[in-house]
Structure 1
Amino acid sequence: MINSFRPHLRVLLPVFLAAIVLIAGHASPGAAAGTAVLTGKVMDIEGRPVEGARLFLYDTPEVRRSASFISAPTGPDGTYRLIVTPGRYWSMARLKKMDGYGPLMAGDKHSGDPAEIELAEGQEMSRDFTVADLKDARRMRSKDREGPVTISGRIVDQKGLPVRGAYAIANRTEKTGGLPDYVSAWSDADGRYSLSLPPGRYYLGSALSFPPDERAVFLKGQVAIDAGRSDLDIPRSPGEPPVK
């Protein structure tokens, strides 16, 4: 009887072994992936710690979407600590007035274009971030007695088509580098922006990144901003006048 079963055993044994290997593979997964730690401080443009900011990590340079990792809000000392899986990320800090998520709005602060970082397994990296106010990146030292004037309109390209995701920027002096004196939130799908300014004369322009890079474009000459001016289109062609 036993001898008659041996041929069947030789046939079934590989099947049993394969089943055991398959079950073992599901029951004993590989070791968990290692981790890396990113720490640092979030500060304002005057070097003071920012409370309530969050650090966002993305696995691609496209940051207008859900983040791969988000830190807890920073404390009174502005510090954060984020444990992630090793890899390549694009990082930025944000401080939102309403909540910690969603698109940037006027009055929110962020650290500008995402900074690329590479985190190896077991590594602890320290990186500080400076966040600026989207509505007024560099607050003027002088106090204006008159209330601000809000101008709005569209940012358009050389063909007159709307530019989405651009910033309207304004400077009191003729400068092209560094942080602008005033900056709007992102323009929407129709290219529309809104920018609040104290009455006065400004050099107006637009930028495709924050802080502005070499792609920033300014209109020719100063533009008078007062209570009588509220609607203004900003073309992306250097030296062109604004369009009422």
Structure 2
Amino acid sequence: MKIRLLTAILCMFAASVAVAAGPVPTGTVSGKFLGEGKVPLSKGSVVLFRRGSGPPPAPDRYWLVPDHVETMDDDGRFTVTVEEGTYFLAAIKRNDHLEIGPPRAGELFLIAADDKGKLLTFDVKGNGAVNVGTIGGARPISKETGMMRPGATAIEGRLVDGEGKPVEGAVVFAFTSQEMQGKPLYVSERSDSYGKYLLRVAEGGKYYLRVRSAYGGGAPDEGSIFATLGGDVPAAVSVTSGEVLKDVAIPVGRFERPIKGKGKR
């Protein structure tokens, strides 16, 4: 699956909202990213976060679900079509280019910022074109990024199947409303071999958790990992700013499509 297709799947999170509201004007963002030594970020991915849809991106504290992900060419160049709005811009060079979650240790990452470290934003107008020029300095993510830091806010626990066995390789999404519609706000790193997950968030509050084996909106694939904390009636977890809410176990299952006229199998 190519990143372009994954971008389309990501956009499906908010598809129902977009259809109800009607067409939204779009524009383009283009530019070029460089890694260390001014080497083009060949086949990296440009990642855009829309301002106002959540807190500013801060990968050393939490990972937001991006609004757009697009593959760069061999020279680190990109052109992305986005809805009218203001965006933060980042770049990732993956070890596995199909993964679009939080950057892992050793992968190259960069958020567009000024010389003082202040994040830059880019305004996109309908039918407009924004060229951000060349942005350099993508560096390897350290092992410390993604680890808990003093004062961090997070939810952690285990994913287990019906027999209590750990579920590895799934991600946990955090929504801020019980309806759990549209794009989730945060996402965890993938669960480890013990089923442990760590979902970092920007601040305390109530969150509704959903587990999937992959990114993307729309109906899950048959047999894929899928669960909502609380089941048919999503249950909230409450976390306090600066604290880690521990031992939040989430029972997970495999998605099964209902048989017409017979309910779920």
Q: TM-score range by the shorter chain?
A: 0.3 to 0.5
Compare relative contact order (CA 8 Å, sep 6+) and give the higher one, 1 or 2.
2
Give TM-score, length-normalised by structure 2: 0.39
State the structure with more CA Rg. Answer: 1
**Bigger fraction of residues in strand:** 2
TM-score by length of structure 1 reads 0.42
